[in-house]
Structure 1
C-alpha cells in the first residue's frame, strides 16, 4: 500500500464527522432559551398593558399599527396578550418538547407560522422607516436641534413595540427551524443530515446559482425605490407630482435623502451576497484587504432588513387599497409603485441571504461536517 493510499483510507469521507468527533452533534439551546424568556417577558408586559388600557399612563397608539390599526385598543390588547401566551407556549415546547412524532412537530410549525402571520398584521413600516431615516437623522442632528428631537422616535412606545414583536418572531422562527432539524435527524446548527443525505439544492455550487438570481432581484427593487427618492431630493418629479416635489424643504428632505440613500446602499451591499467582495474584503479596504468577510457580518443585517421589509410592504399595500392609492399614474407611481414590490424584496433578500450562508457555512463546530 502506498503512502497516498494509506492517507486516503485514514482520512474521513467528505460530509462525515472526522475521527474523534461524536456521532451526534453537540447542541446549544441558548437561542431557544432566549426565545422562551423573550415571549414570557412579552406575555407579562402584555398583561400589564391590557390591565392599564384606559388609564392615563397608557398610550393607546402604541399597538394600533399595521393592518389592525382600526381594531379597538381593548380588543387589540387582548389579542396581543393571547398572541404572547401562544408564543411563550410554542417557544417552551420547541425548547423542551421531546416528542419525535410528526404530528406534534407539524402542529408546532403550524403554530409558529400563525404567530408570524399575526406579527405581520401588527407591524407596519415604522421599523423599516426608522432604520432608513437613521443615517440622515444622525448626520443632520449635528446641526439641528429640531432633528435631534426627532431621535425620541426610536424610544417611543410604538417603535419599541414593533421591534419587540419582530425580534420575538425571529427568535421563534429560529427555535422552530432547529426543532425541525432535530426531528429530521439533522444538525440543529448547520442543518446537515447525520446520514449525509443532504438535498442537492443546499450544496455550495447549487446555492451559488439560485442565490445569484435571488440577489439580483433583491438588489433591483430597493435600487428602483432609492432612485425615485434621490430624484425627489434633487427636485426631479420622478413618478411624483411636481408640486409635491417642490414643496419638500428642510426637514421634509430627510425622508427622500435618508430612505433613498439607505435603499441604494442596501442594493449595492446585496450584490455582495454572490460576488467575491462579499466573501473577501476588497483591496481598497485598508487593514482588512484579503481577509475573509465574517459570515455574520452579511447574514445578520440582511436578515433583519428582510424581516422588516415584509410587514412594511404588506401594510403599505393594504393602506393603498383602503385609501384608493393603487391607481398608478404619472403623478403617483413613484410614491406607491415601489412599495408594491416590497414583499417580493423580502422573499428575494431572505433567499439570497440563505444561499450566501449555505455557500459559506464551512465545517460545523457542532457536528464536524462540511
Structure 2
C-alpha cells in the first residue's frame, strides 16, 4: 500500500502524507520569520499603530513553530509538542492579527478609489510591504493549524483528545444553537451599519469635532458602502441559519464567514482595548475625532458581531457537514469512505 493509494476499492487517493503538512507548516513559518525580520530591521511602517507583538517576539516564535512542526514525537510527548506548537503559533500571529484588518481595509479602499475616483474621508495609503508581511504570517498560521489538525487525527499519543473531540453535539442541539447564534449575527451589524449610513447622509451626531468628516457623502469609501456591507452580512447570517443547500454555496458562505470574523474580531477587540484604556484615564488618539458614545456603540458591536459570525460559521459547517442533502456530498457513502480512509491512515501511522 502506498501513500497515494489506500488500496481500498473505489476510494481513490489516500489522505496527504503527514510529512507534507509538516513541510508546509515549517516552510510557511520560516517565511513569516524572514518577512518579519526584514520588516523589523528595515523599520517598515504599518498603516495603524494597533497593539501587536513586536518583531523580536514574532521571529523567534515563528522559528520555533517551524522547528516543532517537523518533529514526530514519542506518544508520551505528543501533548507537550502540541502545546508548544499552539503557543508558538499564537505568539507568531500576535504580530499580525490586530493589524491585518486595517491593512486589508486600506488596500480595499485604495483599490476602490483607483477604480471609482472617489475621495476618502481621510488619507488611506496602504503600506504594501507590511501588508504582505501580515498576509504571509496569516498563511503560516493557517498552515500550522492544518498541521495541528492532522496531528489530532493521527498521532497515537493524542488518542484521548480525539475521543473527547469525537463527542459531538447532537444534531438537534447544533441546529438550535445555529439558529440562536444567527439571530445575534444578524442583529449585531445593524447599529454599526445604521450609524455609517446616517453619517453618509449628512448627520453630524457622534463627531467630537465640528469639522470631522465634513465632506463625507454616500459614495465616500468607508461610509455608504459600509452600510451596504452590513446589510449583506445580515443576509449571510440568515442564509447560514436556513441552512442553504449546495456544496459550492456552503463553501462560499464558510469562506465569507471566516474572513469576516477574522476582520471583525481583532478590530473590535482593539477598539475595546482602547475603551478600557480611556476608562482608566489614558489619552487615546483614536478617540480624538469620534464622540465617546459612538466609539462605545461601534467597537463592542464589532467584537460581538465577529464572535457571533465565527460561532455561526462553525455551527453552519458542522450542521451541513452531517447532512449530505445540504452539503452536496450526495449520500452517506462519502462519510463512510472518509471514515475508512481515516481508520486506514491511523493504522499505517501506528
TM-score w.r.t. the length of structure 1 is 0.67
Q: What is the aligned partner in structure 1 of residue 115 from structure 2?
A: 142
Number of matched residues?
310
Alignment partner of 1:302 out of 254, 257, 282 = 257
Is the 8 Å Cα contact of residues 133 and 255 (structure 1) preserved in structure 2? no
How far did residue 20 of structure 1 move? 6.2
User: How far apart, in 2, do the equivalents of 1:34 and 1:143 lie?
Assistant: 39
How far did residue 44 of structure 1 move? 3.2
Q: What is the aligned partner in structure 1 of residue 74 from structure 2?
A: 99
User: How far apart, in 2, do the equivalents of 1:323 and 1:252 lie?
Assistant: 32
Distance 1:64 1:128, change over 3 A: closer
Q: What is the aligned partner in structure 2 of residue 9 from structure 1?
A: none
Alignment partner of 1:112 out of 68, 81, 86 = 86
Distance 1:107 1:309, change over 3 A: farther
Q: What is the aligned partner in structure 1 of residue 327 from structure 2?
A: none
Q: 5+ unaligned residues in a row in structure 1: which ranges? A: 1-18, 70-75, 281-290
Alignment partner of 2:101 out of 117, 121, 127 = 127
Distance 1:90 1:305, change over 3 A: farther
How far did residue 67 of structure 1 move? 1.4
Q: What is the aligned partner in structure 2 of residue 199 from structure 1?
A: 167
Is the 8 Å Cα contact of residues 73 and 81 (structure 2) preserved in structure 1? no
User: How far apart, in 2, do the equivalents of 1:106 and 1:210 lie?
Assistant: 33
Is the 8 Å Cα contact of residues 118 and 220 (structure 2) preserved in structure 1? no
Q: What is the aligned partner in structure 2 of residue 90 from structure 1?
A: 68
Distance 1:116 1:26, change over 3 A: same
User: How far apart, in 2, do the equivalents of 1:249 and 1:311 lie?
Assistant: 26
How far did residue 308 of structure 1 move? 2.8
How far did residue 355 of structure 1 move? 1.0
Distance 1:26 1:139, change over 3 A: closer
Q: What is the aligned partner in structure 1 of residue 242 from structure 2?
A: 275
User: How far apart, in 2, do the equivalents of 1:249 and 1:140 lie?
Assistant: 14
C-alpha distance after superposition, 1:20-66 (max 9, x if no partner): 689xx74554555432221122233344445xx2xxxx343249843
Q: What SS class does the counterpart of residue 51 from structure 2 fall into?
A: helix
How far did residue 79 of structure 1 move? 2.2
Q: What is the aligned partner in structure 2 of residue 227 from structure 1?
A: 194
Larger RCO, structure (CA 8 Å, separation 6 or more)? 1
C-alpha distance after superposition, 1:45-96 (max 9, x if no partner): 344445xx2xxxx343249843148xxxxxx333222122122123323xxx
Distance 1:223 1:39, change over 3 A: same
User: How far apart, in 2, do the equivalents of 1:185 and 1:314 lie?
Assistant: 35
Q: 5+ unaligned residues in a row in structure 2: which ranges? A: 1-7, 325-333, 342-350
Matches within 5 A, 1:1-370: 26-27=15-16, 29=18, 32-49=22-39, 53=41, 58-62=42-46, 65-68=49-52, 76-93=54-71, 97-101=72-76, 103-109=77-83, 111-113=85-87, 115-116=89-90, 119-120=93-94, 122-127=96-101, 130-131=104-105, 134=108, 138=111, 140-144=113-117, 153=126, 156-183=128-155, 198-201=166-169, 203-237=170-204, 239-240=206-207, 243=210, 247-249=214-216, 253-276=220-243, 279-280=244-245, 293-320=248-275, 321=277, 322-324=282-284, 331-361=291-321, 362=324, 363-364=334-335, 366-367=338-339
